[in-house]
């Protein structure tokens, strides 16, 4: 190889190494958190049986749970393999939505996203948009998940009750047909010593499934699976079924989580209307070319 | 002939490597990218007016003076506080009056607003938020 090319090759390798190192230093990480990249070659202890308790963080880094362009397993990026199995109503509803990310994105001041302004994102959007550090608490009657994003929580009942399909089912404390909820109704059970599954229905159809404007109806049925392969990891899988909007169920997210120390304190991430209002006035409206009134 | 083949092979390697170096990291902010002029960057020196550390996104406002002394007031956004902490930023990163050099991806509307890509602080330290090619890095 000519001498000049050798010099160039050496320089290129040096630039590449430097770039990789620079990128590594730029990798976002939450102070105090432990990620898989910190424990290469580890041999985790076996998982405890029927136990999800603890603080869980996306194992590949905090960015892994942030799904700006839509549900992590099916982002709205125009790729054929990420085309959702829309029904005609589903496609029509999707196209009527104006998200701020994805193939149908608009400037944030022009969106009809139901979440800005601190409105409830509901479930499953909390896990299909911004799955951040979360604490799981288990009691004999339920599994409670405390989410960092907008400081929200859910209760998954494990006391044997059924989903409130039956109008005479009194378990939920109300003999009438259940009113729809932003966060739905959830029940769960262990299918083996290391796998917990939950089902949720009864959703308010004003929310979106994700940040890219994927729709759902009042027929939405969400399935969650939490598989604990070892002490330090939890594999979360979210499957969406909504026969009004989609012709078949689809896996919306698969996320590997890592257990954090018992002392790990989840930060506050609250949506405050007073802050949102200022952001819109100072930034979002000028960004969209909207003049101040 | 052999040299030419080697050179072509090397150029292919060079192009492929540079391509890999530009591979994007996923965007993450929950407010979108549609307003921004993708790929465009503006570098300017300014005086900090406010650093608003708040949800949904933190933003920096600063004045940039032209040769005649007229100031343009810029507002540039970053991401939410937790994501900025993850990247080494804090509520104390700026104080009013700081002289900073800011690299911005401006918006298409022509208003003096944009997305903050990088800033050089008065002490010479550089903080990055996003690449113009890839959007927010967290």
**Single pTM value for the model:** 0.82
Q: Answer with the residue of higher pLDDT: A226 or B133.
A: A226
pLDDT single digits (tens) A177-233 = 578 899 999 999 999 999 999 999 999 999 999 999 999 999 999 999 999 999 999
CA distance B7 to B15: 12
Q: B27: distance to nearest CA of chain A, Å?
A: 6
pLDDT single digits (tens) B92-117 = 999 999 999 999 999 988 899 999 99
pLDDT single digits (tens) A97-153 = 999 999 999 987 889 999 988 999 999 999 999 999 999 999 999 999 999 999 999
Alpha-helical segments (H) within chain A: 3-26, 88-96, 125-128, 273-279, 285-287
Residue B22 lies in a domain: no
Strands (E) across chain A are located at 54-58, 134-138, 142-147, 152-157, 185-192, 195-201, 221-230, 233-241, 250-259
Residue B17 lies in a domain: no
CA distance B124 to B126: 6
pLDDT score for A174: 60
Average of pLDDT values for B21-49?
Answer: 69
Number of domains in chain B: 1
Residue B112 lies in a domain: yes
Nearest alpha-carbon partner for B80 in A61, A267, A120, A134: A267
- Cβ of A282 and B7 within 8 Å? no
Q: What's the complex ipTM?
A: 0.79
pLDDT single digits (tens) B52-102 = 999 999 999 999 999 999 999 999 999 999 999 999 999 999 999 999 999
By residue range, what is the domain housing residue B49? 34-128
- Cβ of A286 and B17 within 8 Å? no
For residue B51, give the CATH number of its domain: 2.40.50.140
Residue B59 lies in a domain: yes
In the stretch 65-104 of chain B, residues with CB closer than 8 A to chain A read: 75, 77, 80-83, 85-87
Cα–Cα distances (Å) from B73 to A104, A143, A211, in that order, read: 31, 50, 31
Residue B51 lies in a domain: yes
User: Has residue A9 got a pLDDT over 70?
Assistant: no
- Cβ of A282 and B6 within 8 Å? no
Residue B105 lies in a domain: yes
Residue B5 lies in a domain: no
Residue B52 lies in a domain: yes
> Can you read off the two tokens belonging to residue B14?
């060079």
Q: Answer with the residue of higher pLDDT: B39 or A55.
A: A55
């Amino acid at each position: 190889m000519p001498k000049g090319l050798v010099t160039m090759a050496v320089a290129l390798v040096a630039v590449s190494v430097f770039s990789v190192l620079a990128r590594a230093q730029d990798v976002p990480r939450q102070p105090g958190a432990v990620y898989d990249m910190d424990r290469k070659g580890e041999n985790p202890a076996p998982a405890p049986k029927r136990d999800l308790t603890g603080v869980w963080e996306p194992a590949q880094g905090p960015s892994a749970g942030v799904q700006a362009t839509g549900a992590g397993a099916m982002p709205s990026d125009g790729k054929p393999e990420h085309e959702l199995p829309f029904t005609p109503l589903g496609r029509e509803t999707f196209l009527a939505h104006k998200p701020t990310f994805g193939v149908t994105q608009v400037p944030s001041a022009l969106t009809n996203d139901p979440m800005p302004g601190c409105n409830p994102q509901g479930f499953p959007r909390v896990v299909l948009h911004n799955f951040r550090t979360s604490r799981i608490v288990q009691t004999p009657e339920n599994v409670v998940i405390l989410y960092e994003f907008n400081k929200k929580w859910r209760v998954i009942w494990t006391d044997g009750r059924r989903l409130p399909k039956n109008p005479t089912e009194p378990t939920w404390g109300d003999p009438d047909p259940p009113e729809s909820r932003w966060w739905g109704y959830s029940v769960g059970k262990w299918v083996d010593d290391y796998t917990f599954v939950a089902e949720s229905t009864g959703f308010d159809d004003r929310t979106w499934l994700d940040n890219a404007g994927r729709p759902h109806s009042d027929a939405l049925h969400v399935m969650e699976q939490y598989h604990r392969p070892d002490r330090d990891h939890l594999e979360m899988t979210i499957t969406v079924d909504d026969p009004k909007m989609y012709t078949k169920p689809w896996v919306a997210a698969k996320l590997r989580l890592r257990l954090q120390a018992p002392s790990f304190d989840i930060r506050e991430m609250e949506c405050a209307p007073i802050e949102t209002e200022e952001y819109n006035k100072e930034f979002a409206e000028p960004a969209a070319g909207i003049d101040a009134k | 002939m052999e040299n030419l083949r080697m050179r072509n092979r090397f150029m292919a390697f060079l192009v492929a490597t540079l391509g890999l170096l530009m591979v994007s990291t996923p965007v993450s902010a929950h407010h979108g990218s549609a307003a921004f002029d993708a790929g465009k960057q503006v570098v300017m020196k300014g005086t900090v007016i406010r650093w608003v550390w708040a949800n949904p996104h933190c933003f920096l406002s600063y004045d940039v003076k032209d040769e005649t002394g007229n100031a343009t007031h810029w507002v540039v956004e970053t991401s939410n506080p937790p994501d900025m902490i993850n990247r080494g930023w804090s509520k104390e990163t700026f104080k009013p009056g700081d002289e900073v050099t800011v690299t911005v991806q401006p918006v298409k509307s022509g208003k003096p607003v944009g997305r903050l890509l990088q800033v050089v602080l008065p002490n010479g330290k550089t903080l990055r938020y996003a690449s113009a090619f890839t959007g927010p890095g967290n």
